[in-house]
């Protein structure tokens, strides 16, 4: 969705760092990949930009090839791909109207090759239909919260600034973080913090919220952050970053239905990915990464029954994995952009049409 992201690093043993040199691309395209970075605002360089362009650009070289950026954000990845692939078209999708407005301004030089749609990225088929496109040759999903959403203090995503408890990516929706904090039963609030926030002190925090909201609505990010800090054991506060980070992650995921949307979005996007097309997904915590890994791996398997002597044509893999496990940003990128540290990248290519 945006250029630089922030969340907890996912766990797992299949992550690896990747240093891209364009060696898998033709010389001309590799030159355009390097040139695509030129002119980008160094303060808003997208996460793993070079690798994303390297992975997706080969599918976008033919005239009329379509990239769906399902989480457009500031439009940095899309700008680089529009620059590297002069024959491609962009269908830019975002649930945040502010992001669409910013990206439209940023991508004005490519106005004849862009189409913007305000919708959630699980509706990629609907966005393609609105753009008059049948299939996409590339899909990009850059998950999580974007830099502008973190940096605009009135959005309520960051615990470092005092703001209303909002956290809506789409400010046209009704549910806010204040609604969750002030109206969810304690058991449900505990579930949100434990499952979505992976917070081991979820029940203690939920009970502390219950005691506080009995006095009146809790609607301030700074007050919530302080309440969380006081609710967890003192020894825990000294390690693992800000004590409230997992609570804020859990509330944000709940408010924006991020995991259920991702569950719907991956099969929806893959259903409209052309043979030879590629998908790349950037995740920022283990909940997203596990779902992405499963969705791609399931379609990269031969499902011929083990007792048959020959592979069945309609049971052959639909996808070929382009990344070995999840790839991580390089040490250099992590030093230049601390918000990239939690990123994990997975990508695949469609090698066979969907089974009927």
Domain of 95: which CATH number?
3.40.50.150
Domain end call among 228, 256, 284: 256
Containing domain of residue 188, as a range?
153-256
**Does residue 142 have a known ligand-binding role?**
yes
Q: Is the pLDDT of residue 217 over 50?
A: yes
- Contacts of 5 by beta carbon, 8 Å cutoff, 6+ apart: 47, 142, 143, 144, 145, 146, 147, 282, 284, 339, 340, 342, 343
Residue 219 and residue 172 in one domain: yes
Instruction: Classify residue 189: in a domain, yes or no.
Output: yes
Residues 224 and 266 in one domain: no
77 is in an annotated binding site: yes
Residue 331, annotated as binding a ligand: no
On whether residue 49 sits in a domain, the answer given is: yes
Is residue 110 a known part of a binding site? no
Of 209, 231, 256, the one marking the end of a domain is 256
Question: Rounded to whole angstroms, how far apart are CA atoms 156 and 159?
Answer: 8
- What does the pLDDT read at residue 218? 96
* 181 lies in the same domain as 330: no
At 78-118, the pLDDT tens digits run 999 999 999 999 999 999 998 899 999 999 999 999 999 99
Q: What is the pLDDT of residues 228-257, one digit of tens each?
A: 999 999 877 766 678 999 999 999 999 999
Report whether pLDDT(206) > 80.
Answer: yes
User: Which is more confidently placed, 161 or 350?
Assistant: 350
Q: Which of 241, 256, 271 is the last residue of a domain?
A: 256
Pair (43, 174) in one structural domain: no
39 with 120, same domain? Answer: yes
pLDDT for residue 275 is more than 90? yes
Tell me how many domains the chain contains.
Answer: 2
- 249: in domain: yes
Instruction: State the helix-helix crossing angle for 27-37 and 76-84, rounded to 10 degrees.
Output: 140
Statement: residue 20 has pLDDT above 50:
no
Query: Quick check: is 278 in a domain?
Result: yes
Q: Which residues pair with 164 in a beta bridge?
A: 220
Residue 57 pLDDT: 97
Q: Is 13 annotated as a binding residue?
A: no
Was 149 annotated as part of a binding site?
Answer: yes
User: 4 lies in a domain?
Assistant: no
First and final CA of the chain: distance in angstroms? Answer: 32
Residues 125, 213: one domain?
no
Rounded mean pLDDT, 199-206:
96
Query: Over the stretch 308-355, which tens digit does the pLDDT of each residue have?
Result: 887 888 789 999 999 999 999 999 998 888 878 899 999 999 999 886
Q: What is the pTM of this model?
A: 0.86
199 & 267 share domain: no
Is 204 part of any domain?
yes
Q: Read off the CATH number of the domain in which 192 is found.
A: 1.10.150.170
Q: Would the annotation count 184 as a binding residue?
A: no
What does the pLDDT look like over 24-74, one tens digit per residue? 556 566 666 566 556 555 546 789 999 999 999 999 999 999 999 999 998
């Amino acid at each position: 969705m945006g250029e630089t992201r922030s969340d907890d690093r996912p766990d797992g043993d299949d992550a690896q760092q990747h240093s891209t040199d364009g060696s898998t691309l033709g010389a001309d395209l590799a030159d355009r990949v390097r040139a695509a970075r030129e002119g980008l605002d160094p303060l808003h360089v997208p996460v793993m930009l070079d690798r994303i362009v390297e992975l997706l650009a080969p599918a976008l070289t033919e005239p009329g090839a379509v990239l769906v950026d399902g989480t457009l954000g500031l439009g940095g990845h899309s700008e680089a791909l529009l620059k590297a692939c002069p024959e491609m078209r962009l269908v830019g999708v975002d649930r945040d109207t502010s992001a669409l407005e910013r990206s439209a301004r940023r991508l004005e030089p490519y106005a004849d090759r862009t189409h913007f749609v305000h919708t959630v990225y699980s509706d990629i088929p609907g966005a393609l239909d609105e753009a008059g496109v049948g299939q996409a040759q590339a899909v990009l999903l850059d998950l999580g919260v974007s830099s502008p959403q973190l940096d605009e203090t009135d959005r309520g995503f960051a615990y470092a600034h005092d703001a209303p408890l909002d956290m809506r990516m789409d400010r046209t929706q009704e549910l806010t973080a204040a609604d969750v904090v002030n109206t969810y039963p304690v058991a449900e609030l505990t579930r949100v913090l434990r499952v979505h926030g992976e917070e081991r002190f979820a029940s203690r925090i939920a009970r502390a919220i219950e005691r506080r909201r009995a006095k009146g609505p809790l609607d301030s990010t700074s007050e919530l952050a302080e309440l969380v800090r006081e609710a967890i054991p003192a020894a825990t506060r000294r390690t693992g970053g800000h004590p409230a980070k997992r609570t804020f992650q859990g509330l944000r995921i709940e408010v924006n239905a991020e995991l259920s949307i991702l569950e719907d979005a991956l099969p929806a996007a893959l259903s409209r990915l052309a043979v030879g097309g590629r998908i790349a997904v950037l995740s920022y915590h283990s909940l997203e990464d596990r779902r992405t890994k499963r969705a791609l791996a399931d379609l990269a398997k031969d499902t011929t029954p083990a007792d048959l002597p020959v592979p069945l044509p309609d049971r052959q893999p639909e996808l070929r994995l382009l990344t070995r496990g999840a790839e991580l940003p390089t040490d250099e990128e992590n030093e230049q952009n601390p918000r990239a540290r939690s990123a994990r990248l997975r990508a695949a290519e469609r090698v066979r049409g969907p089974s009927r």
